């Protein structure tokens, strides 16, 4: 890039961070692309589209002659379309301006040609920003390997905060919540009050989906003091990201109060659609059918736009369910999920799953709802706690509970299930557990199955030996001399029990010790009798020295 291009980039970024007027720029492709970026940043979408078209016309005939400029121009064509909207498919984003009409896809082959200059890093960032603005989260995620900093004269520029926020937004909207938080933790601190608020709002998005309501509500109170008349992507981003955090904790009333105070007509298409869906949601919560239908009519204006297609389908589902057509609501929600999944919109897909489950429950398909939510929960990370809580909340009113995610352990168990676990590790059978806790045998069975699921154990014995291994009490081999401190067992019984503690079955124990399987069974039965227990689990835990619940009493 020429020195003039670097100077133009610095002047543009200075103005965007400060919220000042756009600088005067030249008429070459690079500076026209910067003008398009500045116009989009000010939410002047028509001006952005015109500058992007002029920039495309000024490009060299061979893209490889100037890959950074070509990538930036193609990013600006997509970013402008994210403000004006797209009718048709992605190849209708910029027909005639790029080889396929899809400027984002057409920019990808040029990325390996980019050097490590500030201009190239900005072009890569801009491509990711444009992909996210088009709600192509999956595509934006594939671009996330680039650094969120500059390496040359612009190193340390305040705009690096915005680059870090992009990386965090992409991770969060993909459903990778802990990763999003880590990106923000690594970002350099900023002296800019506006950028500080933007970082805090991004943390609100992360906190909401991590099920941390106090942090989200604190940010919402802070946003309420921001001047809504200052229209640019920083100010609108602060409010929107906070609203997304509030939605994640199901605080619909605060969302409605927040978004109602801002002028969203100039926002990006996806932001307008999501804001209108929030207002549909809020109207339904207030049992206001007229308002819900009015907001839905505005959402429907985005039907056929691939940027907002999943949002439109989800808003339809909400209103259909509100009006009593649960089956149609399920169908619309499933459409929303399919479209969101195709674009890598993890949070939107999760919201669609919750809505679909709600509709299935109303339609009398509780089992279907529970099974589907269990599948969804099993497929997301433990850091996506907002979705996990929402799924549990939907089923709570039906008397059903989600099966705990495998490996979640004690944290996924209720207080009652903790009691059942203690008795299970004593070697109690289901009937004995039921009697001890004054519950039905069927309820005891359900609790046991949830415990096994939480620990990822197929059997009670696997659970017991797994917990011993976790505590360091069950290595792959156990010295028989360390078994049976009370001296209740014979030497041969100690040898058999030492193998049982490792989780080995009877056949494997027989093979290891060179004895018959029936002999193993006989020794285990006698060892249980001498130890005063009736199950293999009880024996393993007893000889390992674990005090029983009965002993504790």
Residues 7 and 149 in one domain: yes
Q: What are phi and psi of 236, to 5 degrees?
A: -65, -35
Contacts of 292 (CB under 8 A, 6+ apart): 280, 283, 284, 318, 319, 322
- Could you tell me if residue 451 is inside a domain? yes
Burial class, 46, CB count within 10 angstroms (exposed 0-12 / middle 13-18 / buried 19+): exposed
Looking at 133, 157, 181, the residue that finishes a domain is: 157
The CATH number of whichever domain residue 495 belongs to comes to 1.10.10.10
Q: Do residues 417 and 530 share a domain? A: no
Q: Mark whether 442 and 505 lie in a shared domain.
A: no
Q: Is 59 left (phi over 0), alpha (psi -120 to 50) or beta?
A: beta
The number of CA neighbours under 13 Å toward the Cβ of 508 is 10
Please report whether residue 27 resides in a domain. Answer: yes
Question: Domain count of the chain?
Answer: 4
Residue whose entry in the numeric block shows the structure tokens 């010790």: 513
Residue closest to 266 by CA, chosen among 508, 510, 39: 39
Cα-atom radius of gyration of the chain, to the nearest Å? 30
For residues 296 and 425, membership in a common domain is answered with no
Residue 162 counted as domain residue = no
8 Å CB contact between 48 and 36: yes
In a shared domain, residues 415 and 363: no
pLDDT score for 553: 42
Q: Indicate if 280 and 418 belong to the same structural domain.
A: no
How far is C-alpha 516 from the geometric centre of its chain's CA atoms?
53
According to the model, what pLDDT value does residue 477 have? 58
Q: Is residue 232 part of a domain?
A: no
Question: In which domain, by residue range, is 490 found?
Answer: 480-552
Written as one string, the DSSP assignment of 120-180 is: HHHHHHHHHHHHHHTT-HHHHHHTTTS-SS--STTTT-THHHHHHHHHHHHHHHTT-HHHH
Is 153 in the same domain as 61? yes
Return d(Cα 270, Cα 240) in angstroms, integer: 11
Question: What is the b/e burial string over 334-352, where b = at least 16 CB atoms within 10 angstroms of the residue's CB?
Answer: bbbbebbbebbbbbbbbbb
Judgement on whether residues 12 and 129 belong to the same structural domain of the protein: yes
Residue 321: CATH number of its domain: 1.25.40.10
Please tell me whether residues 506 and 450 are part of one structural domain.
no
Looking at the fold, whether 423 and 506 belong to one and the same domain comes out as: no
* 506 and 368 part of one domain: no
pLDDT at 471: 59
- pLDDT at residue 143 in the model: 80
Note the pLDDT of residue 21: 76
Alpha carbons within 13 angstroms on the beta-carbon side of residue 321 total 27
Low-confidence ranges of the chain (pLDDT < 70): 1-4, 144-147, 224-230, 261-263, 378-392, 394-408, 411-412, 469-479, 481-486, 543-553
Could you tell me if 364 and 438 lie in one domain?
no
Domain assignment present for residue 175? The answer is: no
> In this structure, what token pair is assigned to residue 52?
């992007």
pLDDT in tens, 351-409: 899 899 889 999 999 888 888 887 777 666 665 666 666 666 766 666 666 666 555 67
The domain boundary residue, chosen from 136, 157, 178: 157
SS (H, E, C) 420-460: HHHHHHCCCCHHHHHHHHCCCHHHHHHHHHHHHHHHCCCCH
pLDDT at 94: 94
In a domain, 447, yes or no: yes
Rounded-to-integer distance, Cα 444 and Cα 433, Å = 7
Residue 383 and residue 378: Cα distance in Å, rounded?
12
Q: Are 154 and 10 in contact (CB under 8 A)?
A: yes
The answer as to whether 372 is a domain residue is yes
Tell me, yes or no, whether 169 lies in a domain: no
């Amino acid at each position: 890039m020429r020195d003039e291009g670097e100077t133009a980039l610095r002047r543009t970024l200075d103005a965007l961070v400060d919220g000042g007027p756009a600088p005067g720029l030249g008429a070459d492709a690079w500076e026209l692309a910067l003008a398009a970026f500045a116009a989009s940043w000010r939410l002047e979408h028509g001006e952005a589209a015109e500058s992007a078209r002029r920039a495309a016309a000024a490009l060299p005939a061979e893209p490889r002659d100037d890959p950074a400029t070509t990538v930036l121009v193609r990013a600006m064509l997509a970013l402008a379309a994210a403000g004006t909207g797209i009718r048709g498919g992605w190849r209708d984003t910029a027909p005639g301006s790029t080889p396929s009409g899809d400027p984002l896809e057409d920019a990808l082959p040029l990325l390996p040609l980019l050097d490590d200059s500030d201009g190239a890093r900005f072009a890569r960032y801009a491509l990711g920003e444009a992909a996210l603005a088009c709600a192509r989260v999956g595509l934006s995620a594939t671009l996330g390997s680039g650094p969120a900093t500059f390496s040359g004269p612009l190193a340390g520029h305040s705009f690096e905060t915005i680059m870090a926020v992009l990386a965090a937004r992409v991770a969060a909207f993909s459903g990778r919540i802990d990763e999003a938080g880590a990106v923000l933790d690594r970002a350099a601190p900023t002296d800019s009050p506006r950028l500080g608020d933007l970082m805090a709002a991004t943390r609100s998005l992360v906190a909401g989906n991590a099920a941390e309501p106090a942090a989200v509500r604190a940010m919402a109170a802070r946003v309420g003091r921001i001047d809504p008349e200052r229209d640019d992507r920083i100010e609108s981003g602060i409010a929107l990201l906070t609203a997304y955090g509030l939605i994640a904790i199901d605080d619909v009333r605060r969302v409605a109060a927040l978004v109602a105070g801002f002028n969203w007509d100039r926002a990006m298409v996806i932001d307008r659609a999501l804001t209108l869906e929030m207002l549909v949601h809020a109207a339904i919560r207030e049992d206001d059918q007229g308002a819900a239908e009015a907001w839905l009519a505005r959402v429907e204006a985005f039907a056929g736009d691939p940027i907002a297609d999943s949002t439109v389908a989800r808003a339809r589902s909400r209103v259909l369910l509100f009006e009593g057509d649960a089956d149609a609501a399920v169908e619309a929600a499933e459409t929303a999920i399919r479209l969101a999944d195709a674009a890598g919109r993890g949070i939107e897909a999760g919201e669609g799953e919750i809505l679909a489950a709600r509709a299935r429950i109303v339609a009398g398909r509780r089992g279907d709802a529970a099974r589907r939510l269990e599948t969804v929960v099993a497929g997301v990370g433990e850091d996506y706690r907002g979705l996990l809580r929402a799924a549990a909340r939907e089923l709570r009113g039906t008397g059903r509970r989600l099966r705990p995610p495998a490996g979640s352990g004690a944290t996924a168990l209720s207080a009652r299930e903790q009691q059942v676990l203690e008795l299970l590790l004593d070697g109690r059978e289901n009937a004995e557990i039921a009697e001890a806790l004054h519950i039905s045998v069927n309820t005891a069975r359900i609790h046991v199955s949830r415990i096994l699921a939480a620990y990822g154990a197929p059997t009670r014995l696997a659970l017991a030996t797994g917990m011993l291994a976790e505590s360091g009490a069950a290595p792959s081999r156990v010295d028989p001399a360390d078994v049976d401190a009370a001296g209740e067992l014979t030497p041969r019984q100690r040898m058999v029990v030492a193998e049982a503690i490792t989780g080995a079955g009877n056949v494997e124990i027989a093979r290891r010790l060179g004895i018959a399987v029936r002999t193993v069974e006989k020794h285990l039965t006698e060892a249980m009798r001498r130890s005063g227990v009736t199950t293999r689990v009880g024996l393993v835990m007893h000889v390992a020295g674990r005090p029983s619940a009965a002993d504790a009493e």
